[in-house]
Amino acid sequence: MPLQLDIRAVLRQKAPKAHIPEFVIRYLERITHIRQMNAFLRKYPDKKGYEFIRLVLDEELGCTASLEGLENIPTDDRPVIFVSNHPLGGLDGMIIAQMIHEARQQKEGGRPLKVIVNDLLMFMEPIADLWAPVSKVGRLSREQAEEQERMWESEADVLTFPAGACSRLQHINHRWVVQDLEWQKNFVQRARRYQRDVVPIRFEGRNSRFFYVLAYLRKLLHIKLNIEMLYLVDEMYGAHGKHFSVHVLPPVPYTTFTADKTPKEWAQQIKELIIEN
């Protein structure tokens, strides 16, 4: 029997003590496009991994993307860390992972790729093996934490989004811009510890104005619950027919991250490198 997504099952797992009214569940089913996703899963019950992602991009969303900097994707024996800005909050991860995979097929080299994502994406079983979960709601299980540590010790490359959330509308230098939140330092520490070079990626794309206004108002009203995250699937479907550009910049050797700066300062420098290029 094909996998079918169930919003009630997700809520029971992520918020087991919460009582959520039926009308709220129906609204969540609508904005998360559960029926559309389940119809797609029924159509392709045996597709997994990158084949599944390609079908999602081509048939379900009709998205296209172009890649610049193919020569900057390493294919040697040393695993690297790909780091990217995070404008879309999910779709960008699928597109980048797919493009790295296809680029390596062209270059006839490379290693497996693990993508660090919100653990909610683990419910999408056909591509769950590609992901390494982090939790935005609750904590990772012990097994998930151990699996992530094994990932860093393995020969797999890692794609991570150091902002930890998709880009938001921000007031910077007297103007409003859509930009990543502050980057976390974890990837710099991992680069040092595991001697992995860092490959910066710039993804060009934006969510809807509704998404950014909602996120801004939520912050203005000091609401801690990340309400806008509920609309990320709706944003993904709203990207139907769009074209995105992905730019891979030259690798930054792990030896660059010296003690002259803190890991946080190095993370900010890589973020600025991506913004400026």
SS (H, E, C) the chain: CCCCCCHHHHHHHHCCCCCCCHHHHHHHHHHCCHHHHHHHHHHCCCCCHHHHHHHHHHHHCCCEEEEECHHHCCCCCCCCEEEECCCCCCHHHHHHHHHHHHHHHHHCCCCCEEEEEEHHHHHCHHHHHHEEEECCCCCCCHHHHHHHHHHHHCCCEEEECCCCCCCEEEEECCEEEEECCCCCCHHHHHHHHHCCCEEEEEEECCCCHHHHHHHHHHHHCCCCCCHHHHHHHHHHHHCCCCEEEEEECCCECHHHCCCCCCHHHHHHHHHHHHHHC
- 8 Å CB contact between 98 and 57: yes
Q: Cα torsion at 176, 180, 184, 186 (round to 10°)?
A: -160
> Around Cβ 160, how many Cβ atoms within 10 Å?
23
Q: Which amino acid is at 62?
A: G
Per-residue pLDDT of the chain (277 residues; tens, 9 = 90+): 456 788 888 778 777 777 888 888 899 999 999 999 999 999 999 999 999 999 999 999 999 999 999 999 987 778 999 999 999 988 999 999 999 999 887 766 668 899 998 766 767 889 988 988 776 555 666 777 788 888 999 999 999 999 999 999 988 888 889 999 999 999 999 999 999 999 999 999 999 999 999 999 999 999 988 889 889 999 999 999 999 999 999 999 999 999 999 999 999 999 999 988 7
Q: What is the pLDDT of residue 119?
A: 67
Phi, psi of 257 (to 5 degrees): -85, 75
pLDDT of amino acid 109: 60
pLDDT at 246: 97
Burial of 84 from C-beta contacts in 10 A (0-12 / 13-18 / 19+) = buried
Q: Which domains does the chain have, with CATH numbers?
A: 1-46 (no CATH), 63-276 (3.40.1130)
